[in-house]
Amino acid sequence: MSPPTDLKEVVESEIKEWHFHIYFHQRNADEHHAALELRDAVLRLRRDGAFVAVPLFRVNTDPIGPHPVGSYEIWCPSESFASVFSYLCMNRGDLSILVHPLTREERTDHEIRNAWIGPAFPLDLSTLPVKADEVPLQYPSLKLGYSSVAPTLSLEDRRKIGTSIERILKGEKEAAKAPSD
C-alpha cells in the first residue's frame, strides 16, 4: 500500500500528542540517578519556557505495563515535539527512550509507530488494548495537542506555502524535485 498523498487526509490524520518513555535498569543506581536528573532538567526547562513537556508524577522503579524495566513517561504536544526530541537526543546520556504517538491504537503506537533514541528494549505488548474508543487526551487544560484551540493553516494556505518552497528549491541542485501529478 502506498503512503497517502491527499493533503486533507494527511493533515487530518496528523499526530497531536506524544509520549517519551525514559528507561533505566532499576537495579543500576547510576542509571536510575541519571534518569531522575534528566527528569528534573525537563521540569526546570518546562518551568523556564523552553518547551511544554509533562513528566508523569510517578517514576516506575519496576517493570509496568509493556515497559520491561524502570521507566517514566513524558507527555508532549506536537507544538513542542521537535524541541523535546532534540533536547532528549542531546542529553539522554546512556539512557534509552521509547517515543510513540498517542492515538486510539495503543498497541500499534508502541509496536509499529514507535521510534527509539538509544538501544531498543523488547516490550510486552499483550498488556495494551488494540483499539480504544477515543484518542487518549492528556492535560486538556493546556489547550495543546488534540485539545488545541489555536487556528490552523487552511489547505489553500498550505498549498501556497508548498508552491513557494518548490519555487525556491528549483535553484538548489541537491534538492529532490516533487513529482508532477
Render 62-109 in DSSP notation, one character per residue.
Answer: S-BTTB-SEEEEEEEEGGGHHHHHHHHHHH-TT-EEEEEE-SS-HHHH
Instruction: Give me the CATH number covering residue 53.
Output: 3.30.70.1240
User: Where does residue 99 fall: left (phi above 0), alpha (psi -120 to 50 degrees), or beta otherwise?
Assistant: beta
Nearest alpha carbon to residue 138 among 65, 45, 61, 74: 74
- Determine, yes or no, domain membership for 1: no
Q: How many domains does the chain have?
A: 1
In a domain, 54, yes or no: yes
Task: Report if residue 49 sits inside a domain.
Answer: yes
Share of the chain above pLDDT 90, in %: 91
Residue 181 pLDDT > 90, yes or no? no
Compute the average pLDDT of residues 72-76.
Answer: 98
Tell me whether residue 76 is in a domain: yes
Per-residue pLDDT at 135: 86
The verdict on residue 48 lying in a domain is: yes
Predicted confidence (pLDDT) per residue in 86-104, tens digit: 999 999 999 999 999 999 9
